[in-house]
Amino acid sequence: MGDPFDLELARERREGFLREAEERRLARASRVNTWTDAWFRFRGWRERRRTLLREKQERALARETARVRAAFAAAEERPGTIEVRWGLPADEAAVADLLELNGMPRWVAFEERFIVAESDGKVLGALRYRTESKRLLLGLLVVDPWAGEERLARALYAGAGDLARELGVGEVVASVSREGYPGETGYRRRGRDWHLGATQAREAGDAAAGGWRRVLSLFGTLPVPFHRYR
């Protein structure tokens, strides 16, 4: 028979090994539970975050929808007066904003000349122009979409005709690639362009004086003539 002391020692060592094994098992289980809890907490946080973001986007969309509806309602109830005049250097920044709003480069505002439409002191639309012998040539049209494109476009094309008439220009030619706004203000279609005869309405002396005043006004020397439209 073996030594009782050795048997007792072996039993204690075996119990120690079993106890250590159980402790390691419990530690592993604890780590698994910790990871599981962390995962569920993360998933819950992620779902909550998605919900909050969705609610935030819905509130922002609702505010934007309300703002747009209010803007259109205000425009319909109080259309206001649109003034059309020759653009000045002081208008370049506002025209650049309109170009950018319509997805076009801002630098065009500083390189080209524009007839502008404004209401309550704010430039809401612009129509690019250039001149040649007895003709006023109209090109790019940009407007603030929230202010009503159709109303501004009609005012700009009608105003261009009136301004040309005051300068003694014989004809206005509009090159457009979209809606036929010029046709709604008296222009006639010829090929790809719209044409408007701008006969001189004043006496020769008044026309000459008025013409010089308007040429000087383009350089900011005199007040700029304008026409009002509803």
Domains of the chain: which residue ranges?
1-78, 82-229
Measured CA to CA, the distance from residue 55 to residue 34 in angstroms comes to 31
Which of the listed ranges 3-7, 77-81, 153-157, 176-180 does the model predict with the highest average pLDDT?
A: 153-157
pLDDT on residue 43: 76
CATH topology for the 82-229 domain = Aminopeptidase (3.40.630)
Query: How large is the average pLDDT for residues 126-148?
Result: 89
Least confident of 93-97, 106-110, 135-139, 208-212: 208-212
The confidence score (pLDDT) of residue 211 equals 41
pLDDT in tens, 48-81: 888 888 888 888 888 888 887 776 666 555 556 8
Torsion of CA 220, 174, 153, 85, to 10 degrees: 20
What pLDDT does residue 191 have?
Answer: 82
Residue 115 pLDDT grade (very low, low, confident, very high; cuts 50, 70, 90): very high
User: Does position 117 have pLDDT exceeding 50, yes or no?
Assistant: yes
pLDDT at 217: 41
Q: What is the pTM of this model?
A: 0.56
Helix H or strand E segment including 44: helix 4-77
- Please choose, from the candidates 139, 150, 95, the residue with its C-alpha nearest in 3D space to the C-alpha of residue 118: 95
What is the distance between the alpha carbons of residues 198 and 172, in angstroms, rounded to a whole number?
7
- How many residues in total does the chain contain? 230
Q: Is the pLDDT of residue 199 over 70?
A: no
Report the pLDDT value the prediction gives residue 210, as an integer from 0 to 100: 42
